[in-house]
Amino acid sequence: MSPTLENFGHDPLWITIIKAVMLFVFLMLGVLFGVWFERKLISRMQNRYGPNRAGKFGLLQSVADGLKMGLKEDLFPRTVDKVLYLLAPIIMVVPAFLAFSIVPFGPVVNLFGVQTPLQLVDLPVAVLFMLAMGAVSVYGVVLAGWSSRSPYALLGGLRSAAQVVSYEIAMGLSFVAIFLFAGTLSTSEIVKAQEQTWFAVLLIPSFLVYVICMFGEAARIPFDLPEGEGELVGGFQTEYSSSLKFALIMMGEYLHTFTASGIAVTLFLGGWRAPLPMDWEWAHTGWVPALWFFIKFVLTFCFIVWVRASLPRVRYDQLMSLGWKVLIPVNLAWILLVAAVRNVVVNEGNRMIGIAVGAVIVVGALAIWMRFDTVNQRRKEAKKAQVEAEFEELSNEPTAGGFPVPPLDLPHYHGVQHKEIPSGTN
């Protein structure tokens, strides 16, 4: 049975505790095996072996790394704000756990004799809760950079704040079309609304925008600017040694990536529902749907790792320009189109009028974009011509760029006769 909001809030306390423990164990094991899996997948893409010493196939490598970080000496630099310096990694981890609590893993199942949804909690504003937890976790990054009292760490924290503000807006706008079609913000009911067609197919522009924002929100390559080693040494975590605090920061980043993958599966890829051709009753009942969710979740994580192994890091100005100049305007135009078509088709029941309205909006948006692109191209050509003219003018002057250019007859420069010194002379 597909759960709805009415199925939540009736579980005994011990069932809720069991589901919370199961979710915690799933995420902790996911971090351990996720690190190993990412390293192995990237190594195979780069024609390497990856971890292969600790345990069979290197499976215990992540366990060894975690033990090493937990047992290393916990150092505090002298100038840090110790309270915030210690709280920052915790603030990064806790919201990631809470954000994953709204992700549905399956339908109503029998758990120790109790019929309960395979989901910890659901809310009428569950998606907004997820966005709020993602916004709260950035406070950990900012506090980690500010409390370190290091210019590199501070710049990394400020970059993260600006990046999250930019891509949180675009991500929120990419969900609006889903809300219009599903008529709810509840994650379980959004999964139920995808019985016929996944929103990744029906609303493909929203899905593509979310995929881009997912990398910016989770600070993964190519958008991992808060940790840019080339210019920030290590970003916001520069002053964190390889201790338990550093392990918490790494765990928070992985949990944030898992949350982004889980939300992508839930809102766009049908959640725990089987792939569309498999419309069999057994594929949507019992614990089998949890397997479909896990397969989609792993494939989404593989895509994130594949992007990391394939694309270089972009410049920070390119990152901000993409968020503010491309993703947000495209999202606004797409929402206008979806709202118009949805209103005409659903309320008036005329599909042809809805298609015509959508076509008019698309043609108008393309015309505006082409006009803007033409004006921008002319502006770039004019600027290029101006720069070339200035360069040519400067190149003809003896003091090009404000620096004197020596004449070609160097021995007679400034009237001084430079004689050749014989070889062997001290």
pLDDT along the chain (426 residues), means of 10: 74 87 89 87 86 83 82 78 84 86 86 84 86 82 82 80 82 88 86 85 87 83 73 72 79 86 89 76 77 90 88 81 84 83 64 58 66 73 77 59 54 48 53
- Given this model, what pLDDT does residue 217 score? 78
8 Å CB contact between 270 and 194 = yes
Q: Rounded CA gap, 73 and 241, in Å?
A: 9
Query: Cis peptide before 77, with omega less than 30 degrees from 0?
Result: no
Structure tokens at 213: 């924002």
- Given this model, what pLDDT does residue 354 score? 53
- Given this model, what pLDDT does residue 413 score? 44
- Given this model, what pLDDT does residue 355 score? 57
Model confidence, pTM: 0.77
Structure tokens at 222: 């190519």
- Given this model, what pLDDT does residue 9 score? 77
